[in-house]
Amino acid sequence: MKTDKKHSANVFYIDPQSMINLAKYDYYLLNGMDLPVYYFCSRYYDFDVSPKFCYKKVFRYNKKKQNWQKAVSYILSYLLILLYVVRLQPRVIHIQWFRIPRFDYTFVRLLQRLFKVRVIFTAHNILPHQGNEHKSEAVFQKAYRTFDKIIVHSLATKEQMVQTFHIDADKIEVISHGVLPFNIGIDEYEACRKDYDRKYNLNGKIVFSALGFQNHYKGSDLLAKVWASSPTLSQNPDCQLLIIGKVNDNTIDFSMLNGLENVIFDNRRISDEEFIYLLRHTSVYLLPYRDISQSGALLTVMTEHIPVLVTDTGGMTEPLTIGNIGWKIQPSDEQALRDMLEHLVANPAEIQAVRDNLDAWNKVCSHYDWNNISRQTQRLYESLL
């Protein structure tokens, strides 16, 4: 890791949530740069360590139990970052997420007014997805007009942001979200594979999967409702639906799946090895999101060349314009989702043709290559230095 040197402190990169896929995102983005960066991340950062940037593990709020404890811890972490700002005088600060929007906005204004820092914000989602969109809208309206630059992951998201918040389009930079591969060793995977073969018995079936955290904005409830209401799907022994992952929204009702023999619903977090096993035995990965800018799950699935069914929201359909790697429907359209699933069940050769289209997969994965994404981000930094 690099030592503190004033001449190498031009850029601060702040990610309060830097764990699991978010830690991967930070690592791949920063590791491709030829620019010294101070990386302010979680104490529980859980991915590879690069010697190319200086780690400052300041955030500890993630594992606090009470909301007030999380808030106090989060604010104290930013006060520590402020001390680094005073000491090292960065010229550009790149922030990934707002966790306490009003406080975060105030911190940004302080940076700009007192320290003349240029602030970049990555809008992974235009507004938070955890049930407080309307509460946060006013502060994000002010924040988006305040940032010196905003990064979004698709042209569709840029257009939506301009229309929704009336922001100058020149302020918004479109930089793709890169693919997120799983780095699991062959021995680790093989040690689990036989157990999973016995547990799931998926061979020879058309498998539809929605894995990982289940939330309302991901459309998990629509998927359950559509599957349960279609005899073609729910009564077909040749196909299987997997909804496996922790349910993060108590308003979602999966009770209609009870008793269906070709459905596996499991409300729990799964290991990386189990996730990869299920992914590699998936015929079509389902992403029926109601609203999203871009999906880390989609960018993980693409690394394994698994055909996808996505809704036309945010940047979800962008990969399909680069190569034929799946199918799209409109968000919240239950009939379209049912029709497409029934079509795919009746046409397994179509699924296999998409999976075997190596040229398409190579084009898509090349487009979302991290080297290009890192270079674009570095050029943005340098334009503000």
- Average pLDDT for 59-65: 92
Distance CA 254, CA 219 (A): 12
Task: Please tell me the predicted confidence (pLDDT) of residue 129.
Answer: 64
Which numeric CATH code is attached to 6-178+369-384?
Answer: 3.40.50.2000
Q: Please give the radius of gyration of the chain, using alpha carbons only, rounded to the nearest integer.
A: 22
Distance CA 385, CA 382 (A): 5
Q: For 62, left (φ over 0), alpha (ψ -120 to 50), or beta?
A: alpha
- 55-63 long-range contacts, CB within 8 A, separation 24+: 55/1, 56/81, 56/84, 59/16, 59/18, 61/16, 61/99, 62/17, 62/19
Report the length, in residues, of the chain: 385
Scan for tokens 């503190």, then name that residue.
4
User: Average pLDDT, whole number, for the chain?
Assistant: 92
Taking the model in full, what pTM does it have? 0.87
Name the band, by pLDDT with cuts 50, 70 and 90, for residue 296: confident
Task: Please tell me the predicted confidence (pLDDT) of residue 250.
Answer: 80
Query: pLDDT tens digits, residue range 105-121?
Result: 999 999 999 999 999 99
Task: Please tell me the predicted confidence (pLDDT) of residue 6.
Answer: 41
Task: Please tell me the predicted confidence (pLDDT) of residue 192.
Answer: 86
Asked if 290 and 313 touch (Cβ cutoff 8 Å), the reply is: yes
Asked if 18 and 42 touch (Cβ cutoff 8 Å), the reply is: yes
Amino acid identity of residue 55, one-letter, is: Y
Distance CA 118, CA 112 (A): 7
Amino acid identity of residue 239, one-letter, is: C
Backbone angles phi, psi at 67, to 5 degrees: -60, -40
Query: pLDDT tens digits, residue range 18-33?
Result: 998 899 999 999 999 9
Short-list 268, 280, 108, CA closest to 192: 280
Residue 8 reports pLDDT greater than 70: no
Distance CA 263, CA 257 (A): 7
- Average pLDDT for 212-221: 91
Q: Which residues pair with 55 in a beta bridge?
A: 39
Domain boundaries, the chain: 6-178+369-384, 186-367
Task: Please tell me the predicted confidence (pLDDT) of residue 7.
Answer: 39
The rounded percent of the chain whose pLDDT value lies above 90 is 77
- Average pLDDT for 80-98: 96
Residue 364 reports pLDDT greater than 50: yes
Query: pLDDT tens digits, residue range 161-181?
Result: 999 999 999 999 999 999 988
Query: pLDDT tens digits, residue range 328-341?
Result: 999 999 999 999 99
- Average pLDDT for 373-384: 96
Range scoring the smallest mean pLDDT among 34-38, 191-195, 219-223: 191-195
Comparing 6-178+369-384 with 186-367, is the CATH topology the same? Answer: yes
Q: 186-367 is classed in which CATH architecture?
A: 3-Layer(aba) Sandwich (3.40)
Name the band, by pLDDT with cuts 50, 70 and 90, for residue 135: low
- Report the Cα–Cα distance between both ends of the chain, in Å, rounded: 23
Amino acid identity of residue 348, one-letter, is: P
Asked if 319 and 303 touch (Cβ cutoff 8 Å), the reply is: no
Short-list 251, 229, 245, CA closest to 279: 245
Task: Please tell me the predicted confidence (pLDDT) of residue 43.
Answer: 96
Residue 314 reports pLDDT greater than 50: yes
